[in-house]
């Protein structure tokens, strides 16, 4: 009995001193809005964690940016058709994984989409459909099979002159994964990295409950139609309802099929759940290109991957494992 009293006191004290709160900061990184949320003991501690995450994201941006002429990615692009470029192992393996996703999606996802001629404009300025031959010509430099990797010295060679790679559909997901991994390593118990809809969570809320992710319909943004409790998986939403052009009653949206040069049709929003945000990000873009039927079929064949697709009529479709019970 003697021991119980001091032990009890200690428990109370430790509970008070360890009370943690949720801290959030919104920043512009990689040309997009990032919301970083961490659970920490104090504002000061949270600021330190958030700064570490920001530095990590900026480091990745310097590596993969196609805008920064000094990035290793720009160097690869500038040497297209000329010579291989030796890059950091990190960039080399990112490109290798991207090519893996191209193979998995049979070319619906392709980082060499970046060399596509810009013949489609989704700002209301187009008056007629481009000619079929112009559309075909626009993708003549696109093709992941012409990205040549040399494992021995981490070099990347784009075979065709004018070829380019870009990480627009995978980079934010990769940055969100890296920021999460860094903060976990630093002992942050729970948090959310939200890179403009590329969401990565870990741990629990301060009340011990899992984080909840609200899914909205782009046709009615104020209406949340699903609240998903998230596990350790990432959830990424791709979709820009405003960016489209309409010809002959067909609505063409801003994500273009890199194999044909035609914009995707039928789908207005895709959310993907996957173990990593990088994969979820790339698959969300791919499913746009595949369309609803092939996209659902594709996801239903993959382990640990789920998706929610919204078509142009606002109808919501779920992959088999997350179908809400009727």
Q: Does 281 bind ligand ADP (CB under 6 A)?
A: yes
Q: How many CB atoms lie within 10 A of CB 271?
A: 26
Task: Assess 109 for contact with ligand ADP (CB under 6 A).
Answer: yes
Interface with ligand ADP: number of residues (CB under 6 A): 17
Rank residues 178 and 285 by Cβ distance to ligand ADP and give the closer one: 285
**Selection from 99, 234, 111, 237 nearest residue 179 by Cα:** 234
Give the Cα separation of 230 and 232 in Å (integer): 7
Residue nearer to Mg ion on the CB measure, 109 or 202:
109
CA distance 53 to 55: 5
Read off φ and ψ for residue 312, nearest 5 degrees.
Answer: -70, -15
For residue 254, what are the CA distances in angstroms to 67, 71, 131, 239?
20, 26, 18, 9
166 binds ligand ADP, rule: CB under 6 A: yes
Q: Which is nearer to ligand ADP, 31 or 48 (CB)?
A: 31
d(CA 251, CA 247): 7
Cβ proximity of 113 and 258 under 8 Å: yes
Interface positions with Mg ion (CB under 5 A): 169, 238, 281, 284-285
Restricted to residues 46-105, the positions that interact with ligand ADP (CB under 6 A) are: none
Nearer to Mg ion, 40 or 169 (CB): 169
Pick the piece of the chain touching ligand ADP (CB under 6 A) from 48-56, 161-169, 210-218, 313-321.
Answer: 161-169
Query: Checking phi first, is residue 71 left (phi over 0); if not, alpha (psi -120 to 50) or beta?
Result: beta
Alpha carbon distance 197, 30 (integer Å)? 13
Residue 191 contacts which entry, Mg ion, ligand ADP, none (Cβ below 5-8 A, type-dependent): none
Task: Name which of 46 and 98 has its Cβ closer to ligand ADP.
Answer: 98
Give me the residues paired with residue 28 across strands: 33
**252: contact with ligand ADP by CB under 6 A:** no
In contact, 85 and 75? CB cutoff 8 Å: yes
* 147 is a site residue for ligand ADP (CB under 6 A): no
Closer of 188 and 273 to ligand ADP (Cβ): 273
- Residues 44, 128 contacting (CB under 8 angstroms): no
Nearest to 241 by CA among 224, 278, 259, 216: 216
Nearest residue to ligand ADP by CB is 168
Partner interacting with residue 111 (select from Mg ion, ligand ADP, none; CB below 5-8 Å by kind)? ligand ADP
- Residue 166 binds which one of Mg ion, ligand ADP, none, with CB within 5 to 8 A depending on kind? ligand ADP
Stretch that binds ligand ADP, among 106-114, 157-165, 217-225, 295-303 (CB under 6 A): 106-114
How many Cβ atoms sit within 10 Å of the Cβ of residue 74?
18
User: Do 98 and 73 touch, CB atoms closer than 8 A?
Assistant: no
Q: Is 285 marked within a binding site?
A: yes
**Of these, 23, 34, 92, 113, which contacts ligand ADP (CB under 6 A)?**
113
What are the residues facing 26 on neighbouring strands? Answer: 35
Residues whose CB is less than 8 angstroms from the CB of residue 78 and which lie 6 or more positions away in sequence, other chains included = none
Least Cβ distance, residue 256 to ligand ADP (angstroms)? 6
**Residue 285 touching ligand ADP (CB under 6 A):** yes
Would you say 255 or 267 has its CB closer to ligand ADP? 255
Interface residues with ligand ADP (CB under 6 A) are: 109-111, 113, 166, 168-169, 197, 238, 240, 255-256, 258, 281, 284-285, 289
Q: Which residues define the annotated binding site? A: 169, 281, 285
Q: Which residues define the annotated binding site for Mg(2+)? A: 169, 281, 285
């Amino acid at each position: 009995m003697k021991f119980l009293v001091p032990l009890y006191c200690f428990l109370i004290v430790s509970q008070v001193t360890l009370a943690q709160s949720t801290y959030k900061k919104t920043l512009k990184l990689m040309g997009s809005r990032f919301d970083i949320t961490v659970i920490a003991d104090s504002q000061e501690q949270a600021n330190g964690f958030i700064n570490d995450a920001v530095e990590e994201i900026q480091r990745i941006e310097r590596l993969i940016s196609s805008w920064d002429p000094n990035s290793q990615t720009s160097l690869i692009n500038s040497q297209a058709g000329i010579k291989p470029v030796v890059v950091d192992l990190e960039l080399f393996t990112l490109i290798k994984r991207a090519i893996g996703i191209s193979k998995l999606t049979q070319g619906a996802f392709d980082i060499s989409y970046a060399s596509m001629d810009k013949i489609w404009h989704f700002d209301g300025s187009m008056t007629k459909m481009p000619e079929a031959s112009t559309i075909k010509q626009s993708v003549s430099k696109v093709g992941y099979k012409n990205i040549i990797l040399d494992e021995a010295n981490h070099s990347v060679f784009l075979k065709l002159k004018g070829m380019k790679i870009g990480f627009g559909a995978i980079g934010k997901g990769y940055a969100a994964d890296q920021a999460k991994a860094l903060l976990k390593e630093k002992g942050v118990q729970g948090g959310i990295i939200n890179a403009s809809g590329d969401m990565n969570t870990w741990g629990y809320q301060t009340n011990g409950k899992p984080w909840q992710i609200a899914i909205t319909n782009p046709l009615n943004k104020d209406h949340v139609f699903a609240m998903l409790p998230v596990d350790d998986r990432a959830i990424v939403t791709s979709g820009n309802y405003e960016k489209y052009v309409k010809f002959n009653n067909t609505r063409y949206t801003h994500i273009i099929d890199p194999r044909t040069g035609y914009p995707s049709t039928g789908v207005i929003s895709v959310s993907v759940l996957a173990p990593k945000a990088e994969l979820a990000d790339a698959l969300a873009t791919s499913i746009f290109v595949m369309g609803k039927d092939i996209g659902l079929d594709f996801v239903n064949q993959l382990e640990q991957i789920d998706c929610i697709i919204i078509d142009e009529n606002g109808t919501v479709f779920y992959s088999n494992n997350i179908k809400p019970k009727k």
